[in-house]
Amino acid sequence: MSDKPWDGRFAQKTDPSVERFTASIGFDRRLFSYDIKGSIAHCRMLARQSIISENEASQIIDGLEKIAEDMEQGRFQLDESLEDVHMNIEARLVEQIGPVARKLHTARSRNDQVALDVRMYLRDAVTHILHQLTGLRRSLVAFADQHLDVIMPGYTHLQRAQPVLFSHHMMAYYEMLTRDRQRFNGVLTRTNVMPLGSAALAGTTHPVDSAYTAELLGFEAVSANSMDAVASRDFILEFLAAAAICMVHLSRFSEDLVLWSSREFGFVVLPDAFSTGSSIMPQKKNPDVCELVRAKTGRVFGSLVALLTVMKGLPMAYNRDLQEDKEPLFDAVDTLQGCLEIYEALIPKLQVNRTAMAGAASRGYLNATEVADYLVTKGAAFRDAHHCAGRVVRYALDQEKELNDLTLDEFSQFSPLFEADIFNILTPEQMINRRTSSGGTATRNVAQAIETARQVLAQEVSGAGS
């Protein structure tokens, strides 16, 4: 058992079971490099403000840099009895440079220190996710562009509804993921706030310059309220909410791929390299990647609910409960980043079965709405037109024909309004290309949407887009 920085007022040593129970080093070791960077900046600020001397600061900074190097070289074993990453680094610093190390924690508490570290960690994690969302959307747009002539049935209630372009379906996911990216940008803004100087909860009496620390660490703002700075985790909650929503989108995409790759649909073939087999049924090729993305969505929801629940009853300001913010956060970051990575790689390798899709779009009376709308343009009231079209469908069903296989005579049995031009609107191509309303599936709309997306993505890549 080691001495604790706070053991001055304690008559007993910490029980080993309590040490194990309260330790966060098992997971907050992930904050290691941020803790070092944060401490170096804090130390520079202390010296600049003459709170410690330049000489003391340079000893401390050299020591911290040496620790970072030791860690990289595998020469630094973290010690569980030292509770967390912050105390591990400080203890090592004392070991290396002696008592001057004890000055580093001047004007700082672990409460503002841990808030700083987590903000720095999340800033990097979100920045990576923003890049990944650009990459994944680029994959989707390229894929949509390559398949602009592929027609598929669009569904409602999982029943064939109306034909759409396959690319239109892909671009729907592009839109969802674009909004996800906007959400993560918002998360980044609210994460990029520097809390040091808040100390335990009330601020510090030392003449710190938090703006300088923020500048050294590349933060855009300094926290406005010390209690808020140490007690709030809504930047993490917001991240988890954005991650959960993004996972919903990936999960729905997964479900589409699971369905489409089934024998029943046969719309897509998943690449062998991204599928797995069965240990008993030799014929099987399973969409495990998609299934796992769908399932991992649940983990991310779990993280969000876990942290919401941790936060909801906490009195101000810092409580040890807040240590429980890290595992859900780290798990959600790993999960989301993993899912984004695998889909960016998988999408270009999907094989589209255009014949199966087009076949499904041309059977099942997906053009019944067209018949009703046609009668409306010829002067019928929509209710009457709908009823009449329904009767035509029933007749065609009895005849085992599709609507475009009926003759004009057959149509005319149901209404005198039918003319030869009824045959200009009944094929899937005609249906698609007449849907020119904004955001509709007409080829020229979708081509335009792809072009706009390309411009947006180019700006994101050049750093101009947010």
Map residues 78-107 to x or -, x wherever contact with ligand ARG holds by CB under 6 A. ------x-----------------------
Helix (H) or strand (E) holding 210: helix 210-216
Question: Who contacts 271 (Cβ-Cβ below 8 Å, separation ≥6)?
Answer: 346, 349, 350, 351
The count of C-alpha atoms lying within 13 angstroms of the C-alpha of 353, restricted to the half-sphere facing its C-beta, is: 18
Is residue 157 part of the annotated active site? The answer reads yes
Query: Among the candidate windows 179-187, 264-272, 309-317, 319-327, which touches ligand ARG by CB under 6 A?
Result: 319-327
Q: At what angle do helices 234-260 and 166-191 cross, to 10 degrees?
A: 170
- 117 makes contact with ligand ARG (CB under 6 A): no
Q: Least CB distance from residue 222 to ligand ARG, whole Å?
A: 20
Which is the catalytic residue, given 53, 262, 278, 466? 278
Q: How many residues bind ligand ARG (CB under 6 A)?
A: 10
Cβ 191 to ligand ARG, closest distance in Å? 17
Instruction: Report yes or no: 173 and 346 within 8 Å, Cβ to Cβ.
Output: no
CA angle 157, 158, 163 (to 5 degrees): 105
User: With respect to ligand ARG, which residue has the nearer C-beta, 240 or 371?
Assistant: 240
Q: Is 9 in the site for ligand ARG (CB under 6 A)?
A: no
The answer to the question of residue 232 lying near ligand ARG (CB under 6 A) is no
Stretch that binds ligand ARG, among 108-116, 138-146, 364-372, 385-393 (CB under 6 A): 108-116
Nearest CA among 172, 141, 146 for reference residue 451: 141
Which listed range, 315-323, 356-364, 390-398, 427-435, lies at the site for ligand ARG (CB under 6 A)?
A: 315-323
Q: How far is the CB of 114 from ligand ARG (least distance, A)?
A: 4
Token digits of residue 336: 């989301």
Report the C-alpha gap between 128 and 222 in whole angstroms.
23
24 binds ligand ARG (CB under 6 A): yes
Q: How crowded is residue 284: how many other Cβ atoms within 10 Å of its Cβ?
A: 11
Give the three-class secondary structure for 332.
Answer: helix
Query: Which CB atom, from 114 or from 231, has the smaller least distance to ligand ARG?
Result: 114
Q: How far apart are CA 188 and CA 208, in angstroms?
A: 25
**Which of left, alpha, beta for 463 (phi over 0: left; psi -120 to 50: alpha)?**
left
89, 91, 114, 217: which one binds ligand ARG (CB under 6 A): 114
> DSSP for 233-260?
-HHHHHHHHHHHHHHHHHHHHHHHHHHH
The DSSP call for residue 415 is -
Among 9, 157, 312, 320, which residue sits at the site for ligand ARG (rule: CB under 6 A)?
320
∠ Cα 334 246 338 (to 5°): 25
Question: At residue 352, what are phi and psi to the nearest 5 degrees?
Answer: -100, 130
Record the tokens describing residue 16, joined without a space: 């080993």
Piece of 184-192, 320-328, 443-451, 456-464 that binds ligand ARG (CB under 6 A): 320-328
What CA–CA distance (Å, rounded) separates 448 from 456? 12
Question: Rounded to the nearest whole angstrom, what is the least distance from the CB of residue 112 to ligand ARG in the complex?
Answer: 9
Query: Binding ligand ARG by CB under 6 A: which of 39, 88, 111, 191?
Result: 111
The correct pick among 41, 46, 170, 322 for binding ligand ARG (CB under 6 A) is 322
Give the nearer residue to ligand ARG in terms of CB position, either 162 or 323.
Answer: 323
Which one, 312 or 320, has the nearer CB to ligand ARG? 320
Q: Which of 17, 157, 279, 438 is catalytic?
A: 157
**134 contributes a contact to ligand ARG by CB under 6 A:** no
Does residue 278 carry a catalytic annotation?
yes
Q: Are 63 and 98 in contact (CB under 8 A)?
A: no
Among 42, 110, 233, 296, binds ligand ARG (CB under 6 A): 110
Is 263 one of the binding residues for ligand ARG (CB under 6 A)? no
Whichever of 57 and 82 has its CB closer to ligand ARG, that residue is 82
* Residue 50: partners with Cβ closer than 8 Å, 6 or more residues away: none
Which of 261, 323, 415, 441 contacts ligand ARG by CB under 6 A?
A: 323
Write each residue from 272 to 311 as x if it is in contact with ligand ARG (CB under 6 A), else as -, in one continuous string: ----------------------------------------
DSSP state of 453: H
Contact 76, 50 (CB under 8 A): no
3-state secondary structure of 165: strand
Closest by CA position to 463, among listed 208, 127, 45, 15: 127
Using the rule CB under 6 A, is 317 a contact of ligand ARG?
Answer: no
| Least gap, CB of 326 to ligand ARG (angstroms) | 6
Q: Decide whether 188 or 230 has the Cβ nearer to ligand ARG.
A: 230
Binding site for ligand ARG (CB under 6 A): 24, 28, 84, 110-111, 114, 318, 320, 322-323
Catalytic residues: 157, 278
